[in-house]
Amino acid sequence: MSPGESSRKGKPIARRACDLCRSRKLQCVFDQLGTSCKRCVQVEMPCTFMTTRKPRGPPNRRVAEAKAQGHDPHHKDPENEGTAAHAQCLPKSLSSLSSSLVTYLTIEHFCSNEIFELLISDYLQHIYPLHPIIHRPRFRVDFQNKCYQSDPFFYRLCISLSALAISWSPRNFQSYGFHPDETISSMVERAHYLVALSKTSQRLHTGIQPDAQDMVCSYILSVALHGSGRTHYGWVHASEAVLCMRKLSLFRRESHCDFDNINSEICKRAFWMIFIVMAHDRLTYPVPHTGISYNPACIDWDFLVLLEVDDPFPDKMELCEDSTATPLLAGFIALIKLYLCAVALGPDKMPGNPRYGQFSPPCPEQTSNSCGNSVLTFGQGMDIIQACGTSAANYLTN
């Protein structure tokens, strides 16, 4: 919030108080070039303006009579349409609270539009090969159309990707143009709060149900929070992503029937990223953070083999497979092949916790006992490692 008009003493005053100063009933004081008030800076809290201001004076009698008769004298506001997208289908018991509990979330709650576009650009250019969790052509179209203003799912995806770019970008943090008081941790935490607020405001009447799109956002926020040093919240989002994957059974072919080719491929990539996090968690910590996992014997490994392309075309999968260009995620696919080598060792050798075996649901078929030619042996995996090492050495010498 930029400073408002100058007072009689020549000091800049705010047009309205922030949430912290309003709750404490204190004057909100800004510096000349600051974007946060002095009290929020002192206590290291984000300076937000999400609390709606109550109208002053007595209520309008004609407006009250019109509302009592079931008529709304006000016209629709374009901003209110975005609010309805984030707080849709509220029951009557909560409709009176929606104006004070649910707010219209925008990108400006996180950062300016210029910084936001720069963060998304850095993700697409530098971070996508490490975390190929989106379909770039479809994402670019939605981003250019500013779907984050009306689609809550896309809003959460953009906020999560921005946090990932802040945490993992090779660019210096201050070069983005953030306020000097902001840090990588504070911005990633702000993304965490905005995503949580968007979820609760959109689904206040039914609760948060497992969803593939929110599963992707949970994984992205987990990686971003771990990169910023906030490992506690990082494991919270990682556990949510693992449990969503388990609840939706996206490691089985029949669970992808309602997805198109693009969304199915993105869910496969999400499975492998979450599986790698879960495997490292169980191999590193005596007590894992990611909760109850799924039974490796129930996973359709052959179906989860990824296409060696960056962005698959809808309904043109054979054209994608015939492409001779080396994809940007070639390294990611090579890593997946190494994990597929472990399938040949058998379910008892897979990364997991034996204590959780009794909670695993029975499998209709043991897919690990009928692995096809797409599953590599351990020796073939070692050949891939040696070939990658030789190629890297030749590249460095040349």
pLDDT at 366: 42
Q: Is residue 298 part of a domain?
A: no
Tokens 């390294």 sit on residue: 331
Q: What DSSP letter does each residue of 19-56 carry, written as one string? A: HHHHHHT----B-SS-SSBHHHHHHT------SPPPPP
Mean pLDDT of the chain: 73
Q: Is residue 139 part of a domain?
A: yes
Q: Is residue 285 part of a domain?
A: no
C-alpha to C-alpha distance for 235 and 290, rounded to whole angstroms: 7
Q: How confident is the model at residue 62 (pLDDT cuts 50, 70, 90)?
A: low
Domain boundary among 53, 70, 93: 53
Note down the domain range covering 145: 101-248
Q: Is residue 184 part of a domain?
A: yes
CATH number at 13 reads 4.10.240
Query: What is Dmax (Cα atoms) for the chain?
Result: 83
Q: Which of 14-28, 51-65, 202-216, 290-304 has maximum average pLDDT?
A: 14-28
Tokens 């060792």 sit on residue: 345
Q: Is residue 183 part of a domain?
A: yes
Specify whether 207 is located in the same domain as 134.
Answer: yes
Specify whether 39 is located in the same domain as 115.
Answer: no
Q: Is residue 65 part of a domain?
A: no
pLDDT at 174 over 50: yes
Specify whether 32 is located in the same domain as 122.
Answer: no
Specify whether 135 is located in the same domain as 24.
Answer: no
Specify whether 129 is located in the same domain as 4.
Answer: no
Specify whether 115 is located in the same domain as 48.
Answer: no
Q: Is residue 201 part of a domain?
A: yes
pLDDT at 347: 52
| Residue 288, number of CB atoms within 10 A of its CB | 23
Specify whether 120 is located in the same domain as 236.
Answer: yes
pLDDT at 299 over 50: yes
Q: How confident is the model at residue 386 (pLDDT cuts 50, 70, 90)?
A: low
pLDDT at 221: 93
Specify whether 108 is located in the same domain as 49.
Answer: no
Angstrom CA distances, 353 to 294, 338, 360, stand at 10, 21, 11
Task: Give backbone dihedrals phi and psi of 12, rounded to 5 degrees, phi first.
Answer: -70, 135
Domain count, the chain: 2
pLDDT at 358: 38
Nearest of 244, 387, 375, 249 to residue 305 by alpha carbon: 375
- Judged by average pLDDT, the poorest of 207-211, 319-323, 367-371 is 367-371
pLDDT at 359: 38
Domain boundary among 228, 248, 268: 248
Q: How confident is the model at residue 143 (pLDDT cuts 50, 70, 90)?
A: very high
- Judged by average pLDDT, the poorest of 38-52, 75-89, 116-130 is 75-89
Q: How confident is the model at residue 322 (pLDDT cuts 50, 70, 90)?
A: low
Sign of the dihedral through C-alpha 109, 115, 124, 166:
negative
Specify whether 143 is located in the same domain as 46.
Answer: no
pLDDT at 103 over 80: no
CA dihedral (66, 67, 68, 71) in degrees, to 10, reads: 70
Specify whether 109 is located in the same domain as 241.
Answer: yes
Domain boundary among 227, 248, 269: 248
C-alpha to C-alpha distance for 381 and 68, rounded to whole angstroms: 72
Q: Is residue 3 part of a domain?
A: yes
pLDDT in tens, 243-297: 888 888 888 888 888 888 888 888 889 988 988 888 888 778 878 788 666 666 7
Q: What value does the mean pLDDT take over residues 144-157?
A: 91
User: Terminus-to-terminus CA distance in the chain, angstroms?
Assistant: 53
Residue 37, beta-bridge partner list? 30
pLDDT at 37: 85
Q: What DSSP letter does each residue of 220-267 carry, written as one string? A: HHHHHHHHTT-HHHHHHHHHHHHHHHHHHTTTSGGGGTTS-HHHHHHH
C-alpha to C-alpha distance for 259 and 270, rounded to whole angstroms: 14
Specify whether 127 is located in the same domain as 1.
Answer: no
pLDDT at 208: 61
Q: Exposure of 47 by Cβ count < 10 A (0-12 exposed, 13-18 middle, 19+ buried)?
A: buried
359 vs 105: which has the higher pLDDT: 105
C-alpha to C-alpha distance for 221 and 159, rounded to whole angstroms: 9
Specify whether 145 is located in the same domain as 48.
Answer: no
pLDDT at 131 over 80: yes
Q: Of all residues in the chain, what percent carry a pLDDT higher than 70? A: 62
